[in-house]
Structures are given as C-alpha cells and as structure tokens.
Amino acid sequence: MARVMEKDDKELINLDSVRIEPTDLEAAEGQYERLLEVFEEVKGDIETLVTEENRHLHQVNEELRREVEERRRLENRLQDELEFLEVFIDAVPMPVGFTDGAGRYLGVNDSFLDFFALDRTLVSGQPWGSLYQLQPVSDAETEFETRNAKGELRTVLRYEADYNDSRNEKKGCVEVLADITQLRQLRLYQQEQEQLLIQQSKMAAMGEMIGNISHQWRQPLEALCDVIDEIKGLHKGGDLDRAAIGTMIEKGTWLTSRMSDTIDEFRNFFRPRKEKSVFSVQGVVEDTLELLNAALASSGIRVNNTACEAVDITGYKNEFSQVVLNILHNAKDVLEERRTTSGEITIRCYRNNQTAVLAIEDNAGGIDDTVMPHIYDPYFTTKQNLAGTGIGLYMAKTIVETNMHGRIRAENTAQGALFTIEVPVAD
C-alpha cells in the first residue's frame, strides 16, 4: 500500500509518477480526498504564479507599447524635420549640395539645379566636381569663377563643411556656393573710386603745394637777389676779381640747387607707389614738415615734434605722408582762420605694444560739436570760399583704416583738436 502523503510533501509531488495501488474502496477514497486537498493547495500557488507572471507580462507589454509609441513619435518628428529641411534647403537662394563619404552627391537644392541647369534625377550618385567647373580667380582659397545655366561667367565663393556620425567619423560633406559677381564688381568699382578720390585729393593738395613751394623758394630767391646785388656792388667798386666771381657762382649754384631739390621733394611726394614698404613714422613726419616749414613759419605757427620716437610701419609711404599732410594742413588753416595767438602744433609718435601711434594736436580751440560727427564725410568742409574740397579727412580715414588696417580718431582737448592715428607696427 502506498505511503500516505502529508501536507508538507506537496512540493515533492510528481503527478506523472503517482501510482495508486489497488486497495480497498475506503482507503482509495481517503487517498483521493487527500490528493484533492493537495491539488487545491497547489492550484492556489499556480494561480499566484500565473497572476504574478501576467502582471509582469502586462508591465513588459506596457513598456513595449510606450517604446513603440515613442519610436513612432520620433519617426514622425524626424519625418517632419526632414520635410522641413528639404523645404528650407530648397528655399535657400544659393546653390547647396551634399555628398556622402565617398564624395558622391546625395542631393542638391533647387537653386543648385537652376544655377547649373541640372536634372535632379541625374544628380544623385555623381562624383563631386563632375557637375560644374571651377577656376580660381585670386589668392583667396574660396573664390572661383564658373559658368551658370546661361553660359555667363560668374564669380562664386565656395564653402564646404564635413558632417560626422555618432562615432565622429566623416559621413559626407555639405557645399554652399555664393554668387558674388555683383559684389566683386562693386568692390572693384569702389577701389577705382577710392583711387580717383586719392588722386583728386592729391590734385587739391597740389594747389596748396604751389603756395608752399613759393614759400620754400622765397628765401632762396631773396638770397639769390642778394648775390646779384653783391656782384653789382663788387663790379661797381672794381673789386670783382676771379676769386669773388667763384664765390658768387658757388653760392648761386647752391641756392638754385636747393630750389631744384624742393621741386624734387614735391614731385616725389605725389608720385604713386605700387609696392608696400617698411618706413619710419618719424621720417614721414620730418619729410612732411620739410615741405610745410616755410608756410608754417610765415603764419607764425610753431611746431613741436621733439616727442617723436623711432617706430616703423608697413604700407604705402606716400599715402601715409598724405594723411599727415592733410591733418597738418587742416591744423594750419584753422589756426590761421581763428587768428590764434602763438599758434602751435604738437606732434608725438611712439610705440604702444604692437601699435604705432601718431598724435597731432593744435591749440586752435577744437572742433565744433555739430561738426565732429561729419568730419570724415566725403565732400564735407567748413572752409569758406571753396578753399576746401571736403575729401582730405575722408581719404585719410580710408587710407589708415582700409589700406593700413589701422584706426584714426579725433577728439577735443583743453588746447584744441587732437588727431590720433594707430597702425600695426612692421613685422
């Protein structure tokens, strides 16, 4: 007869191995009832396990559902962004193209197709450089010439940028072309106009230079007249011998040579220079003052330039000389116009780190507040009777800030007007 199973034996039950031995009816019924009790107890455990498993499966299902919904939302968002990018790129009024890591086109925008008259279906997969030709037009690495759909020669700037994947490996490249043909033509036109203004300014200054030449020549001419009078006196007195004639000739030759040097100085000042050079700021100041000394002296204007230090800069020496000349001329004119007693111009030049500084100050009382904002405007002048052209300070600003990458500023001091020029020192 089989051993009666106790309640604690339920975990050991293997239903497949249970075999009821033939016995009497009463014993069989007892075993049956005991088995039913065990099954009831096992059933509760099974139901608990099933319930727990169902709860777990429900949680997993909810997480999967949320992940699917989030992925669907991200896919929809990504699709919206892709559609927006396509519209955005097509709306860009410049040719835009993008390639894969192998340098083959993945696509281009509408402006690209229109600019080069291309069919979109024939672009994909084409190697970079096969859709158009570029020719460099200057030292700039990004400036090229190409022909558009009409066969017109256009100047473009080409920019490119790589894009990488999550592992920071190159996946392709984006290129953008900007048509700068009109901008380049305008730039060339502006350069031509600047050169014309420079020449116009020089021609205007030349009229003033004629007056300066006359001042420079006045003393040599008076001295030459004295030589002639001395010759007459010696001849009249019978003392004009060979030695006296030699002395008079030597003195007259020196005077005429000095007058000839004056002409050369002015001619060299107005001679255009095409190549940049390294020159001394102090040297330019001294050369310019050499041209103006006589005119300044005749107006009773004293120049103090003892505080000029030696500092070199790079640029066009004659253009910088013109800047100095214009500022000094303006100072001279305003001192004369206002009849300033003991008129004085103070010049300082020095080095401040990597900057050369030239400061020119007068004692004429300063620039009127209503005039100050307009002093660099072209054709603006306060000089009366057409004495000014209004382009001197405009050209000074252009030369310093555009051609020499420096800065010029004006301010009023307790004495008068102070112009400060700052340019990089020579390398």
pLDDT of residue 3: 46
Q: Which amino acid is at 181?
A: T
**Strands 344-352 vs 302-308: parallel, antiparallel or unpaired:** parallel
pLDDT averaged per 10 residues in sequence order, the chain, 427 residues: 46 51 64 74 76 85 87 82 73 84 86 87 84 78 82 85 81 86 81 72 65 65 75 78 81 75 65 77 88 81 88 88 86 89 93 94 93 80 53 82 91 95 92
- Cα 166 to Cα 177: distance, rounded to the nearest angstrom: 27
> DSSP letters of 87-156?
HHHHHSSS-EEEEETTSBEEEE-HHHHHHHT--GGGTTTPBTTSS---EE-SS-TTEEEEE-TT--EEEE
Q: Are 181 and 155 in contact (CB under 8 A)?
A: yes
Q: Are 175 and 158 in contact (CB under 8 A)?
A: yes
pLDDT of residue 218: 66
The overall pTM is greater than 0.85: no
SS (H, E, C) 359-392: EEEECCCCCCCCCHHHCCCCCCCCCCCCCCCCCH
pLDDT of residue 427: 77
